Structure formats: structure tokens, C-alpha cells
Structure 1
Amino acid sequence: MKKNSKEAIVTAAISLFNTNGFSGTSIRDIAELAKVNTATIAYYFEHKLGLLEYCFTYFFEQYINKIEEAYASIDHGAKGCLKRLVANLLHYQCENNHLASVVYREMSVDSQIVREIMSTYSLKEKYYLQKIFEKGFEWNEFRPHSIPYLIIQLKGLLMMPFMNTNYLREVLYIFPNEPFFEQKYLKEINFWIDKTLSFEIREKKEAFIK
């Protein structure tokens, strides 16, 4: 058994899931692209669903790590912390754009795996985002907003390019795998943070006086 066969299987699976969807991909397809036999896939992952679960877990373990790295700076300010979090997640998704597309597409389908992800990683993400927004309100860095709706908006900004890659490429001629996209889009999300969330200097002074 090749030492790097597991990695080859995962790479092939992500490519095929991204192109054909999970249900449109067979174990035989994955084995052929990875240049392994089906028994090797069964050895590492048991079955196709086990392979998808591995992709989910790998993606969200790294995703939460990026959030936690940014959250460690919360004492230096909520706004700066949120911008670090956004930069971390956007860079991670751009580096793993095919995996991100697969995960987000399959997350839209109700399944046992998705419910397990929701009850672990998604709740962790909500916890950190909620804490950042609460601190931003407390420290008068952010205007008061409904936190669930802020999370919806932020998640939409971060996920959309990777959920709708064909739309971006075919209609908008934007390519999320290119470094230019990451730089430009990060500026746009930071603009949302500065203009939608944050107090202007004058507003901050008035809030402080009150």
C-alpha cells in the first residue's frame, strides 16, 4: 500500500465531489482517479460516506482553529479581532477552495453527518462570533445590532464565493482561487465591518458621553 495513498484518495474525492456531487460520484470513480483499488479506500474510510465525513471533519477542524487563533487577540479590540478572523477564514477557504465548495454544497442537504457538524463545529463558531460582537457592543466599537442577523450576514459574505463558484466564474468573471480575489474581497468585507458595524468617530464620542 502506497504511503501517500490516503492523501491521493482524499484529493481525488474532493475533485470528483466538487465536479459531480457526492451522489454522482462512485467509489470506483475515486479509486480510478487516485490510482488505487477500492479495497484501499475501504481500508481507510470504510465507504464513501466515511470519506465525506473525513472531508467535513478535516475542513471544520482547521476552520475552527483559524477562528481560535484570531479570537486570542480579543483583548486588543473586537473590531481588530473580527478582521483577523475574517482574514484567516477567507485565506483558508481560498487555499482550499474545492474542499470549501464541496463542504458548503453538502451542508445544504439534511443528513446525520450535517446534524453532527451543526451540533459541534457550528455551535463553536457561533460562540466565538457572538463573543466578539458582544465585546464590540460593550466597548462601543460596534453599533447595536441583532447578533443572529449579523452572523447571517457575515457567514453569507464568507461562504457565497465558495458556494457559487460557477456563478462567479461564468457571470461575474471572478475566480476565487486567484490571489487577487482574496486581496480584493478582504477589502470589501473589511469595508462592511467599518461601515455597517462600526461607529464613526463622532458617533463613538456621543455614545461615550451618554
Structure 2
Amino acid sequence: MLKTETKKKVIDAAVYYFNTKGFDGTSVREIANKANVNVANISYYFENKNGLLEYLISNFFEGYLKVIESRFDELDKRSAKECLLLVVKDILLYQKSNRHLTRFVLRELTLDTLLIREIMTTYLAKERYYLKTIFEIGMKQKEFKKLAIPFIIIQLKGMLSMPYLHPQYLAEVLHVMPNEEYFTEQYYKEIERWVNAAVSEPFEKTVKTNNQIALSI
């Protein structure tokens, strides 16, 4: 078995058990048995269970931030609103592609641990910077309403994370399946409506402002 295949089997097994039994309720031997590898393989790649946890969360956020960064870098050629909506769409697709890991990571973020504090001061601080900058530029360019940015970020992140924090509620109570592509497409449209209604300036006002800018040049 190739090293990359062994590592992936361990990761998949860990995500499965961490989701179903919790981190504390899962043993390294259980992960090794499900992955059909020797316990020594886990020590080789991750040192121990805590190292595996740190790898899973860090690896998730490295990919997550790349999604945001790629759109953030387009601010010089797209409007702030376009970039924001592309960020939303790409995050939804990233989470869908990694739905089991997304669910686990988002649940871990609700805990007050040293690892989570470190994650917040590194990865999530960067996320805050990117989103805050997009909103600030949008407000400056009169694309977005003058709103309290921290609260807008809270609302946005709440909508993005809800399907993965409460999948049973969606499935059993609301009868929608968050892992289906149709759900992702429709959910994006609903967040887009929220951006248009709650965040964006009315189209007429934006056009008027742009005309004023053009006349002043």
C-alpha cells in the first residue's frame, strides 16, 4: 500500500469515528482497525491522536482559506459584491466536497481548547481580514450598506455553517438533505437573496452614485 493511500485511509477512518463517537470517545486502535493499518502507521504520520486532530483541522482550514484568498485576489478586477458572492459559492462547494470533515471541524470550533484558540488566532483571523476587507471596500464603493461589519460576518458565517452543524435537523425536521448538490445550489441562491436584501445598496442608489463619480472625473 502506498504511503499516501495509507495516510488517506487513516484520515477517513479518523473523521468517521470523530464524527460518530467524538474525539475523546475514539481510540487510536479503532482508527487503525477501520483503516486496516498498523497503529504504528498513525504514530509515523501524526505522532498520536492529538497530532491527528491538529492535522485534520489545520489541513481543512488551509484549503478553506485558499478558497477565500483566490477570490479576494480578484478584488482589483471584480466588484466587492461579485467577490463576496463567489466566496460564498466556493465555500459552499468546498464544504460539500468535504462534508464529513466540515461537520467535525465546525463542531470542534465550539469547544474552548488550546488548539482551537490557536486556530482562531491564525486561520480564522485571516478569514476575518479577508471578509472585513471585502465589506469595507463594498461600503466605500457604495455597493454595500453602512452596517456593523462584525455582525454581518456573524450572520454570514452562521448561514454557511448551519447545514453542517445541524444536519439531522435539516433532514428530519426540514426534510432537506444538505449533502445533495441541489441543496447547495438552492442554498446559495438564498444567501444571494440575503446579500441583495440585507447587505447591498439598492440598485438605483448604486447607479446614481456611479453616475456622480463619473461626472466628477
Superposed pair shares fold, TM > 0.5: yes
TM-score, normalised to structure 1, is: 0.95
Query: Which residue identity does 2:52 align to in structure 1?
Result: L
Gaps of 5+ in 2: 213-217
User: What's the counterpart of residue 170 of structure 1?
Assistant: 172
Q: What does residue 161 of structure 1 align with?
A: 163
Shift in Å at residue 194 of structure 1? 0.8
The CA distance in 2 between the partners of 1:88 and 1:70, in whole Å, is 9
Q: How does 1:129-208 map to 2 (within 5 A)?
A: 129-205=131-207
Per the alignment, residue 28 of structure 2 pairs with: 27
2:82 maps to amino acid: G
The root-mean-square deviation of aligned C-alpha atoms, in Å, is 1.5
Map of 2:121 onto structure 1: 119
Which structure ranks higher in relative contact order (CA pairs < 8 Å, sequence separation ≥ 6)?
1
Name the TM-score, length of structure 2 as normaliser: 0.92
- Count of residues in correspondence between the two structures: 210
Unaligned 5+ runs, structure 1: none
Among candidates 84, 87, 92, match of residue 85 of structure 1:
87
Q: Identify the range of structure 1 (165-174 vs 28-37) with the bigger mean alpha-carbon deviation.
A: 165-174
Measured after TM superposition, the shift of residue 203 of structure 1 is 3.1
Identical columns (%) = 46
Offset of 1:205 from its aligned partner? 4.9
Moved over 4 A (4+): 205-209
1:48 paired to 2:57: no
Residue number in structure 2 paired with 1:103: 105
Q: CA shift at 1:206, angstroms?
A: 5.8
What are the within-5 Å matches in structure 2 for residues 34-73 of structure 1? 34-73=35-74
- C-alpha separation in 2, matches of 1:23 and 1:194: 43
SS at match of 1:172: coil
Q: What does the per-residue CA deviation read over 1:104-152, in whole Å, with 9 as the maximum and x for residues that have no partner?
A: 1111111111011001000000000010000010000001100000110
Instruction: Report the Cα distance in structure 2 between the residues aligned to 1:144 and 1:54, rounded to whole angstroms.
Output: 39
